[in-house]
Structure 1
Amino acid sequence: MRALSGLWRWRRNPLRRATDLAEAWLALVALLLIAVVAPVTGCLVGAAAQDSLQQSVQRQQHARHLVTATVVRDLGGTLPEPDPDTTSAREARSRVLADWTAPDGTRQHGPVLADLKSPHRGDHFGLWTDPHGRITTRPLDSATATTHAVLAGFGAALLTAALVETGRRLTVWRLIRRRYARWDQAWDRAGPDWGKAGTGS
């Protein structure tokens, strides 16, 4: 990180300018923010995401039920697995017409995706539904929720560090522009005759 390069300006030097010292302070503050604030932000965001996702896990596991469906006939064709958290993208599901009984006892009938390679009439397969038998996705599991929360925490920490470093760079850029503007003013005050023999005598 370039913030560390600003720390060398702390050393005593007769040529050290006020902007050099400002850059050193800025580098130190940025370093402390990245070392302390970024991890704390990541932990807080990760913990909040974990709480929210685990509540979602409990709601989904309470509201979604695995029922057994029976193939009536194959509708032909396969589609990719719709839930990326449950299986790899290479796996496919067959389109079938099926019957199933909802958790509330009602009989359901309709086209669904079955995890069967070659479905035949009478084959059984698992199907996730809501309490009324409407097809839904597999509920989120606790391990997957924790993984998402950890990733959210890491993302928040990295974003905080990136914002701090961006702020430091913008401030240093403004300091350098101000320094160059002062140099230009000093050269203008020196006048066009600066450096010529007899100037100022």
Structure 2
Amino acid sequence: MRAISGLWRWRHNPLCRPTDLAEGWVGLVALLLVVLAAPAAGVLAGGATEDVLQRSVREQHENRHQVRATVIRELDPSPLSVDPEGSVGGELRTRVLARWTASDGTGHSGPVSTRLKDPRPDDRFPLWTDAEGRITARPMDTVTATTHAVLAGFGVTLLTAVLIEGVRRLIVRHMVHHRYVRLDRAWERAGPDWGRTGTGS
């Protein structure tokens, strides 16, 4: 952003080329866009994400129900018995054969992963099911939804700023390329006569 700092100094300088001023203005516009437009885009994206996620939270809480399941017997361990909502390394869970009653009153049974470390028959544990009694994931809470929305807003802000800076660099590179092209053409016109007697050098 050196072009921005030199914009004021160069504006009345007789040595300042039009491309110098243009480069400074491009940098100034890019800076204003990064400061103003990028955060605005992040706020809009975060707000839209928040609305969608909060709507999903309400739908999940309406359609998912927590019931109490009863252990029938413990099953052989499975390498897939990892809690996806646990820690980064994954929390090992115990597989059991259990029975439960859905919110509509129908009875169900089947293999279930539970956090019980030493499950015994008739032990009870919470289980999330849908309206038909099928096992489902725990519904998202409002705090998690807000966290995801904030992260989405930050991501859009950063992506917008990077995009603006990338466009600025492409424009400046294009300007510098044309500057060198004009310099080469001027040198080609003056070069053959450089240093010769009577050429005004």
Q: What is the percent sequence identity of the aligned residues?
A: 56
For residue 22 of structure 1, report the CA deviation from its aligned partner.
0.2
- Residue 177 of structure 1 corresponds to 177
Look up the SS of the partner of 2:117 in the other structure. Answer: coil
- Residue 68 of structure 1 corresponds to 68
Deviations 1:117-167, CA, capped at 9 Å, x for gaps = 121111111111001110000000000000000001111111111111101
Look up the SS of the partner of 1:191 in the other structure. Answer: helix
- Give the Cα–Cα distance (whole angstroms) in 2 for the partners of residues 200 and 17 of structure 1: 24
- Give the Cα–Cα distance (whole angstroms) in 2 for the partners of residues 62 and 9 of structure 1: 59
Which of 80, 83, 87 is residue 82 of structure 2 equivalent to? 80
TM-score, normalization: structure 2? Answer: 0.92
Look up the SS of the partner of 1:138 in the other structure. Answer: coil
For residue 100 of structure 1, report the CA deviation from its aligned partner.
0.5
- Residue 9 of structure 1 corresponds to 7
- Give the Cα–Cα distance (whole angstroms) in 1 for the partners of residues 129 and 195 of structure 2: 88
For residue 184 of structure 1, report the CA deviation from its aligned partner.
0.5
- Give the Cα–Cα distance (whole angstroms) in 2 for the partners of residues 80 and 183 of structure 1: 66
Look up the SS of the partner of 2:187 in the other structure. Answer: helix
CA RMSD across the alignment? 1.4
5 Å-filtered alignment, 1:14-53, equals 14-53=14-53
- Give the Cα–Cα distance (whole angstroms) in 2 for the partners of residues 195 and 29 of structure 1: 44
- Residue 190 of structure 2 corresponds to 190
Q: Which runs of 4+ in 1 moved over 6 A?
A: none
Is the contact between residue 9 and residue 16 of structure 1 (CA under 8 Å) also seen in structure 2?
Answer: no
Q: Which amino acid aligns with 2:24?
A: A
Could you list the runs of 5+ residues in structure 1 that have no partner in the other structure?
A: none
Look up the SS of the partner of 1:175 in the other structure. Answer: helix
Q: Which amino acid aligns with 1:36?
A: L
TM-score, normalization: structure 1? Answer: 0.92
Q: Which amino acid aligns with 2:3?
A: G
Look up the SS of the partner of 2:139 in the other structure. Answer: coil
For residue 200 of structure 1, report the CA deviation from its aligned partner.
5.1
- Give the Cα–Cα distance (whole angstroms) in 1 for the partners of residues 192 and 49 of structure 2: 65
For residue 195 of structure 1, report the CA deviation from its aligned partner.
2.5
Is the contact between residue 10 and residue 21 of structure 1 (CA under 8 Å) also seen in structure 2?
Answer: no
Q: Which amino acid aligns with 1:5?
A: R
- Give the Cα–Cα distance (whole angstroms) in 1 for the partners of residues 57 and 176 of structure 2: 52
Aligned residues: 195
- Give the Cα–Cα distance (whole angstroms) in 1 for the partners of residues 115 and 191 of structure 2: 85
Farther-moved stretch of structure 1 (172-181 vs 118-127): 118-127
